Amino acid sequence: MMDNYALPFWVYLAALTVFVCGAMKRILAFHLSVGPTLMAWLGATLLVEQLWVFCMPVLLLLALLGLACYLYSACRTGPPQTALSGQGKTVFITGCDSGFGKEAAKRLDSLGFEVFATVLELTGDGARELQRSCSPRLTLLQVDITQPQQVQQALLDTKAKLGLRGLWGLVNNAGVCVNFGDAELSLMSNFRGCMEVNFFGTLSVTKSFLPLLRQAKGRIITISSPAGDQPFPCLAAYGASKAALNLLTDTLRHELEPWGVQVSTILPSSYRTGRTSNHTYWDQQYKQLLQGLPPALLEEYGEDYVIETKDLFQSFASQANPDVTPVIDTIVQALLAAQPQARYYAGPGVGLMYFIHSYFPFSISNRLLQKLFVKKKLMPQALRKQSGLELHSLHNNNNNEEKSEKL
Could you please report the per-residue DSSP string of 230-291?
A: S--TT-HHHHHHHHHHHHHHHHHHHHHGGGT-EEEEEEE--B--TTTT-HHHHHHHHHHHHH
* pLDDT on residue 291: 86
Pick 141 or 394 by higher pLDDT. 141
* pLDDT on residue 48: 55
Judged against a pLDDT cut of 50, whether residue 104 lies above it is answered with: yes
Find out whether 275 and 281 touch, Cβ atoms under 8 Å: yes
Q: Active site includes 238?
A: yes
Residue range 141-152, pLDDT digits in tens: 999 999 999 999
Rounded to whole angstroms, the Cα distance separating 17 from 24 reads: 10
* pLDDT on residue 275: 66
Lowest-pLDDT range, 119-123, 129-133, 147-151, 272-276? 272-276
Q: Label residues 216-226 b or e (16+ Cβ within 10 Å = b).
A: bebbbbbbbbb
Which ranges in 134-183 belong to alpha helices (H)?
Answer: 148-162
Residue range 63-84, pLDDT digits in tens: 655 666 555 555 544 444 557 8
Find out whether 206 and 252 touch, Cβ atoms under 8 Å: yes
Find out whether 154 and 141 touch, Cβ atoms under 8 Å: yes
Q: Which of 72, 238, 344, 354 is catalytic?
A: 238
Q: Label residues 156-171 b or e (16+ Cβ within 10 Å = b).
A: eebeeebeeeebbbbb
As annotated, the residues of the chain forming the CATH 3.40.50.720 domain(s) are 90-372
Mean of all residue pLDDT scores within the chain: 81
Rounded to whole angstroms, the Cα distance separating 271 from 328 reads: 12
Separation in Å, CA 10 to CA 24, 50, 168, 245: 21, 11, 49, 44
Of 171, 287, 285, the residue nearest 237 (C-alpha): 285
Q: Specify the CATH number of the domain 90-372.
A: 3.40.50.720
Reported as type and span, the H/E element at residue 139 is: strand 139-142
Beta sheet of 90-93, edge-to-edge order: 139-142, 114-119, 90-93, 169-172, 219-223, 262-268, 343-346
**What is the Cα Rg of the chain in Å?**
27
Reported as type and span, the H/E element at residue 222 is: strand 219-223
Supply the pTM of this predicted model.
Answer: 0.78
